[in-house]
Structure 1
C-alpha cells in the first residue's frame, strides 16, 4: 500500500470513528498532540475536537455511517467530501487533513447545509 493509500485509510477511519461514531477516545488514537485546527470555531489540539464531539452528542446528533463521495490524497494531504446529518438537516462537508507519522496533524474545512428549496436539480453528492 502506498503512503497516500495509507493516509486515505487513516483519514476515513478517523473521520468515521470521531464524527460518525462520536468516539472521544478515537481522537487520541488518530490526532497528534499538536493538532492544528484552521476552522475558527474550534480550538487547536485534540481537546478542541473533543469539545466539538461532546457538543454534538449533547445536541442529540445521532451516531451515523458517514458517506464519502470523493476521497483524494496527494503527498501528505487527504481531502474528504462527505455527507452528514445534524439537527435534522443534511450537510455536505469538505475536510482537508495533513498527516504525519500516521496521525492527523492539521485540518481545514468547508461545510453547507442542504437548502429547503433548490435553485437547480444538480446533485450535490
Structure 2
C-alpha cells in the first residue's frame, strides 16, 4: 500500500512566504546589478539612504557605500562580461536574507592548490529597500 503525504501551506503563512520571496528577489537583484556588474551607481535603487553597514571597512549610509565602492569600481564591467555569483545557499526569513558563497582560496602551504572557504552576507530589508548589512569582513592588517 502506498502512502501519500500532502504538504499544505497554512493560509496565514502565505503572505509571509510572499514577503520572503520579494525580499530574496530584491537582495539577489542588488547583488547581480551592483556587485557582479561592479556598478556602484545602481546601489541607490536598492539601498536606503540611512543604510546601516556592519562591515568595518565601509561607512554606513548610501553615501558611505558609494564612496567606498566607487574607488574599487571606477566603471561597471562591460555588458556581456558579467559573471553571476553562484550561491551555495540563499535563505530568506521575514526581513532577513542571507547569501552564502563558496570562494576557493590558495592553499598556504602549496600555491598550486586551493581549498574552499565559505563567505556570507546578511541583509535586512524594510519597505522594499535594503536597510542593513552584515558580513565576515575584517579590518585590514597594517
Q: Is the TM-score greater than 0.5?
A: yes
Structure-1 residue corresponding to 2:98 = 79
Aligned-partner Cα distance in 2 for 1:22–1:84:
18
Structure-1 residue corresponding to 2:124 = 98
Normalising by structure 1, what TM-score? 0.73
**Does structure 2 retain, via aligned residues, the 8 Å contact 1:93–1:111?**
no
CA deviations on 1:88-116 (whole Å, 9 max, x unpaired) are x997430000000110000000159xxxx
Return 5+ residue gaps in structure 2 as ranges.
1-16, 105-113
- How much is the aligned-residue C-alpha RMSD, in angstroms? 2.7
Aligned-partner Cα distance in 2 for 1:13–1:84:
20
2:83 maps to 1:67: no
Structure-1 residue corresponding to 2:64 = 48
Normalising by structure 2, what TM-score? 0.65
- How many residue pairs match? The answer is 107
**Does structure 1 retain, via aligned residues, the 8 Å contact 2:44–2:62?**
yes
Return 5+ residue gaps in structure 1 as ranges.
113-125
Aligned-partner Cα distance in 1 for 2:126–2:71:
27
Structure-1 residue corresponding to 2:46 = 30
**Does structure 2 retain, via aligned residues, the 8 Å contact 1:31–1:105?**
yes
Instruction: Give 4+ residue runs of structure 1 displaced > 3 Å after superposition.
Output: 61-64, 89-92
Instruction: Report the alpha carbon displacement of residue 67 of structure 1 after superposing the two structures with TM.
Output: 1.4
What SS class does the counterpart of residue 33 from structure 2 fall into? helix
Rg: which structure is higher?
A: 2
